Amino acid sequence: MKRSGFFFVFFILSTTVFAFNQSIELKGIRTVNVVVANLSDNLVKDGIERETLATTLELALRKAGLTVLTEGQYDGTVPTISLQVSDIKEPNGRFYATDVVLACLDNVYNNRMAGPFDAIIWSKDVLQLLGVIDLSRVVEGEKMVIDMFLNDYAQASSQ
């Protein structure tokens, strides 16, 4: 019993420290690749457009002063901002849940490895439980998670 309690306390402390340090990792970022994952058939069928999600993300990042590289311009040496929208639709169609995840991947270094490797340095999500889904509701969730990123980015840039 003591071991499980110790593990639980250790887990809470280690994840809390990680959460506090996430914004620090964003310091110095000026240029980013932007990737929007493909959408499920359910989302596409219900009118969610990948292009609209990409445009919303790119405009917000540009407005914050970041240089945005789109799919044809990718550069492997700069961080990548990734947006993914997942969904679960109840078979009878009464409930719809979406999870909007925004993550920043970057090249990180470890003393035990010869070179850099990709790792998520920042990630947040917004879970939406919706009766009916439409593009504006998904974009609303996307804007929430973008605001979280931009707040952490601004905080890191001011340090």
- Give the pLDDT confidence of 111-131 residue by residue, as tens digits: 666 656 678 889 999 999 887
- Give the pLDDT confidence of 50-64 residue by residue, as tens digits: 999 999 999 999 999
Report the C-alpha gap between 31 and 38 in whole angstroms.
23
Report the C-alpha gap between 133 and 98 in whole angstroms.
9
Q: Is the pLDDT of residue 23 over 80?
A: no
The residue whose two tokens read 């457009």 is 49
User: Which residue type does 27 have?
Assistant: K
Report the C-alpha gap between 6 and 8 in whole angstroms.
5
- Give the pLDDT confidence of 74-100 residue by residue, as tens digits: 887 789 999 999 998 887 767 889 999
Query: Which structural domains are found in the chain, ordered by start?
Result: 2-157 (3.30.160)
Report the C-alpha gap between 128 and 86 in whole angstroms.
10
